Amino acid sequence: MNEFALIRDLGLMWTSAMLAGFLCLRARQPVIASYMVAGMLIGPYGLKPIGLPGQIRVLSEFGVTILLFALGVDLSLKQIVSSARRLVVRPALSTGPDWASPPPKQCC
- What average pLDDT does this structure show over 76-94? 78
Q: Would 49 be classed as within a structural domain? A: yes
Burial class (CB in 10 A: 0-12, 13-18, 19+), 64: exposed
Q: What DSSP letter does each residue of 73-99 carry, written as one string?
A: HH--HHHHHHTHIIIIIHHHHHHHHHH
Q: Is the pLDDT of residue 1 over 60?
A: no
Whether residue 65 is contained in a domain is answered as: no
Domain count, the chain: 1
- The answer to whether residue 8 sits within a structural domain is yes
Residue 81 lies in a domain: no
Q: Using CA of residue 71, residue 76, residue 81, residue 82, what is the dihedral sign?
A: negative
| Straight-line distance from the first to the last Cα atom of the chain, in angstroms, rounded to the nearest whole number | 61
pLDDT per position as a tens digit, 2-59: 677 778 888 888 898 889 989 988 999 888 888 888 888 888 777 877 767 777 787 7
- Has residue 13 been placed in a domain? yes
Q: Centre a 10 Å sphere on the Cβ of residue 73 and count the other Cβ atoms it contains.
A: 8
> For residue 77, is it within any domain?
no
Provide the domain limits for residue 49: 1-58
Q: Is 6 domain-assigned?
A: yes
Cα four-point dihedral sign 16, 9, 59, 46: positive
- The SS3 call for residue 14 is helix
